Structure 1
Amino acid sequence: MSYETLELDVRDGGIATLTMNRPDQLNALNEQVIDDLTAAVDELSGRDDVRVLVVTGKGRAFVAGADIKQMHGFEEAEAKAFADKGHAAMDALSKLPYPVIAAVNGFALGGGLELALACDLIYASDKARLGLPEVGLGIIPGFGGTQRLGRTIGWHHARELVFSGRHVKADEALRMGLVCAVFPAEEFIDKVYALAEKIAANGPVAVRVAKRVMREGSELPLDKANALERDSFGELFMTDDRSEGMQAFLEKREANFTGK
């Protein structure tokens, strides 16, 4: 399926790439982009051949924020509806069953950082700039930024970034724990794909279960989260991938996982 504002590609090995494709507008999020993102995530959720998704942007921005030209004319009801639509898209992305990597190649501001925060892992180019500058426009983050940022880097750093609206460079984002790693721009996407390939080479059932247990467990009391882990650990011993993975280890060869 083709989309007006983004590109979706699935390569051999189970790695999909979702590229935001409005480079002349720095990939700003408007209603069409959100609609396309929602549809693409729905398509991806139904594919059994995907093991990892990489989200990135075309040009010099990941996503530079929401489209202010469109939002400028909103009344309260329209703004709320736009936020509802954005939240639904980010939530759907975050709930994909396999790992989602944000490859932040440039500006990730406002809705762009919120998009990255909806992913499981964030990697940044050394040219990246990240922030939630909405208060400078007289609004607040509306696609989950006030909640996901604090859950990622801690509430003190999150409050400082939201209240000040300042941008941070990639190296500061790394120190904060906002990104997993920073790579030079000229080798950035190759480094990200190397990491994606490493994830995709592992047992896909186990990786999906690990994501689910970590996501669901983070919202449970520790004793219940540990019980979820124990149950899931045991259930994996009934899978073909577990048998293949352990047999391959004992035979000192690469495992041939089938996702079953």
Structure 2
Amino acid sequence: MVELVTRKNEGGCATLTLNRPERLNALNVALFLELESHIDAIAAVTDKVGLVILRGSGKCFSAGHDLNDIASGEKPPRPNYQAHVIEKLAMLPQPVIAAVHGHCYTGALELALAGDLIMCSENAKFADTHARWALVPVWGMSQRLPRRIGQSKAAEMMLTCRIYTGQQALAMGLVNTCVADAGFDAELAALASTILANSWHSHRANKALLADTDGLPLPAGLSHEIARSRGRGPDMAERIAAFQSKSAKIS
């Protein structure tokens, strides 16, 4: 049986790949069930997995919610199931990179927005087409999109249903980086390596701080940062000693 979401573990990075290339990785209930299983497993192994990459197989990241499923009356295991899985992805302890090439439309964009970072190739195409199909967001678009790109630009995307290129997405702040198609995999690997080389303890603590203080007034956020600090990581002394040793050799 073909896996709809595959997982590859390498060097502390878990890469989850949407695997319905014949359907442009359109998102159906069966795919979300597999995705949730992987997310739950990854959340339980923070000592072994320090970073998660979500990407698509074949020609694109994902063309979005499978319209055939919508038309036929899909049956998720519980109400708002897909939104729940996307929230689980967003709330993983580890940082998440959404790596987008080709299509990333509507439900796929809602999925990508769960990433802490979004990296795309120049051939990426982003759109929110809910209004084209007389649909209303229930997977987080109305909340995550304006938080990432601002209220007015989010309204533009939602009202026009226009397609935006990778470079346009970079200019509006939808993605963190946009790289040449030919160098996409190499740049993604370099970004992953950079993140993994830093403290996984700090990554988890920083991600939690950003999530827990989102929307708080500055004084409340500052108080939270102090009161809820997770403290120094277990590898702090080792990291400082390694830096001091390297500096001594250079001098």
Whether TM-score is above 0.5 comes out as yes
Task: Give yes or no for contact 1:236–1:242 (8 Å, CA) kept in 2.
Answer: no
Q: Which of 207, 226, 250 is the aligned partner of 1:230? A: 226
Structure 1 CA distance, aligned partners of 2:210 and 2:246? 30
What RMSD, in angstroms, separates the aligned Cα atoms of the two structures? 1.9
Number of the residue aligned with 1:18? 16
Number of the residue aligned with 1:70? 69
Structure 1 CA distance, aligned partners of 2:122 and 2:111? 19
Structure 2 CA distance, aligned partners of 1:33 and 1:80? 13
Number of the residue aligned with 1:99? 95
- Superposition deviation, residue 31 in structure 1: 0.6
Task: Give yes or no for contact 1:132–1:141 (8 Å, CA) kept in 2.
Answer: no
1:117 paired with 2:116, answer: no
Number of the residue aligned with 2:43? 45
Which is worse superposed, 91-100 or 137-146?
Answer: 137-146
- Give the letter aligned to residue 63 of structure 2: A
Structure 2 CA distance, aligned partners of 1:180 and 1:232? 28
Task: Give yes or no for contact 2:123–2:165 (8 Å, CA) kept in 1.
Answer: yes
Secondary structure (helix, strand or coil) at the match of 2:16 reads strand
Task: Give yes or no for contact 2:50–2:200 (8 Å, CA) kept in 1.
Answer: yes
Q: Describe the shift of the 1:3–1:227 C-alpha distance in structure 2 as closer, same or farther (beyond 3 A).
A: farther
Structure 2 gaps, min length 5: none
Q: Which of 134, 141, 144 is the aligned partner of 2:140? A: 144
Structure 2 CA distance, aligned partners of 1:79 and 1:129? 28
Secondary structure (helix, strand or coil) at the match of 2:72 reads coil
Secondary structure (helix, strand or coil) at the match of 2:61 reads strand
Number of the residue aligned with 2:241? 247
Structure 1 gaps, min length 5: 254-260
Structure 2 CA distance, aligned partners of 1:171 and 1:141? 25
Q: How many residue pairs align between the two structures?
A: 246
Task: Give yes or no for contact 1:9–1:17 (8 Å, CA) kept in 2.
Answer: yes
Structure 2 CA distance, aligned partners of 1:245 and 1:116? 33
- Superposition deviation, residue 221 in structure 1: 2.4
Q: Describe the shift of the 1:103–1:240 C-alpha distance in structure 2 as closer, same or farther (beyond 3 A).
A: same
Structure 2 CA distance, aligned partners of 1:109 and 1:138? 15
Secondary structure (helix, strand or coil) at the match of 2:92 reads coil
Q: Which of 192, 195, 199 is the aligned partner of 1:196? A: 192
1:6 paired with 2:2, answer: no
- Superposition deviation, residue 182 in structure 1: 0.6
- Superposition deviation, residue 245 in structure 1: 2.0
Structure 2 CA distance, aligned partners of 1:221 and 1:251? 42
Structure 2 CA distance, aligned partners of 1:79 and 1:31? 6
Report Cα offsets for 1:82-102 as digits up to 9, x if no partner. 6x0111111000011111000
Report Cα offsets for 1:20-73 as digits up to 9, x if no partner. 000000000011011111111011111121011111000111011101011013
Structure 1 CA distance, aligned partners of 2:76 and 2:94? 31
1:182 paired with 2:178, answer: yes
Report Cα offsets for 1:86-132 as digits up to 9, x if no partner. 11111000011111000001110011111110110001110000011
Using the aligned pairs only, state the percent identity: 33
- Superposition deviation, residue 81 in structure 1: 5.3
- Give the letter aligned to residue 91 of structure 2: K
TM norm structure 2: 0.92
Structure 2 CA distance, aligned partners of 1:21 and 1:72? 22
- Give the letter aligned to residue 7 of structure 2: L
